[in-house]
Amino acid sequence: MDPNPSSSKPDRKTIEKNRRNQMKDLYSSLNSLVPQQSHKEVVSLPDQLEGATNYIKKLQINLEKMKQKKNCLIMGKSGNSSTRSSSSNSGSGINNLPNVEVRVMGCALEVILIYGENCQFMFSEIIRMLHEEGAEVLNASFSVLDNMVFHTIHCKINGESSQDYGAARISDRLRKFVYDIC
């Protein structure tokens, strides 16, 4: 029998020290994968973890948008021939989906949104953006024809956004969102 049993078995202090060192290495590894805002200032461990969490959430959102964009592009490629034939028959000239048209009439805003059935997330995103810009949604309607969805949204522009600049900013933001998708 071993006269000193503690020599063969690590003590609690050593185990805890090894655990802390391992956690420190893991934090450093995680922190090295996250883009840094400022290299000069020292960031506390909780702030590093919060930054990593926010970065991962941002990547998840971007991944979801890319998947939706891919679906829109696939839908556009597979549906191009049917879209062209239906648009040439109807004379509407809509070849590229999705499409957004914004009309400004004083403090009223009309948004017409056309997209394929695979891009249904767009409607809720457009509504969210309108609310962020201070527009009050008064009415929203939709129609479905073949594989296309048509939305018409009527809004009232509140407060300082009622100037032409506010309406132009809303219009630009909606168009940028739709064109960034596809």
Asked whether residue 64 is assigned to any structural domain, the reply reads no
Instruction: Report pTM.
Output: 0.45
Domain CATH for 29: 4.10.280
> Do 118 and 54 fall into the same domain?
no
Q: Distance from first CA to last CA of the chain, Å, rounded? A: 75
The answer to whether residue 135 is domain-embedded is yes
> Which domain does 137 fall in, by range?
99-181
106/32 same-domain check: no
Residues 103 and 54 both lie in one domain: no
User: Is residue 34 one of the residues assigned to a domain?
Assistant: yes
More confident residue, 57 or 78: 57
Q: Does residue 109 share a domain with residue 55?
A: no
Does a structural domain hold residue 173? Answer: yes
106 and 168 part of one domain: yes
Share of the chain above pLDDT 70, in %: 72
Are residues 103 and 177 located together in one domain of the fold? yes
Is 77 part of a structural domain of the chain? no
Same domain flag for 177 and 103:
yes
Q: Give the model's pLDDT for residue 32.
A: 84
pLDDT in tens, 47-72: 888 888 888 888 888 888 888 777 76
Cis amide bond preceding 3, omega within 30: no
Between 159 and 101, the higher pLDDT residue? 101
Please give the pLDDT value at position 169. 81
Higher pLDDT among residues 76 and 142, named by residue: 142
How far, in Å, CA of 161 to CA of 134, rounded?
7
**Contact indicator for 76, 87 with CB cutoff of 8 Å:** no
Q: What is the chain's length?
A: 182
Count: domains in the chain:
2
**CATH of residue 144:** 3.30.70.260
Would you state the pLDDT for residue 16?
A: 95
In a domain, 107, yes or no: yes
Of residues 78 and 152, more confidence is placed in 152
Residue 14 lies in a domain: yes
For the segment 90-101, what is each residue's pLDDT rounded down to a tens digit? Answer: 334 444 567 888
130 close to 153: Cβ distance less than 8 angstroms: yes
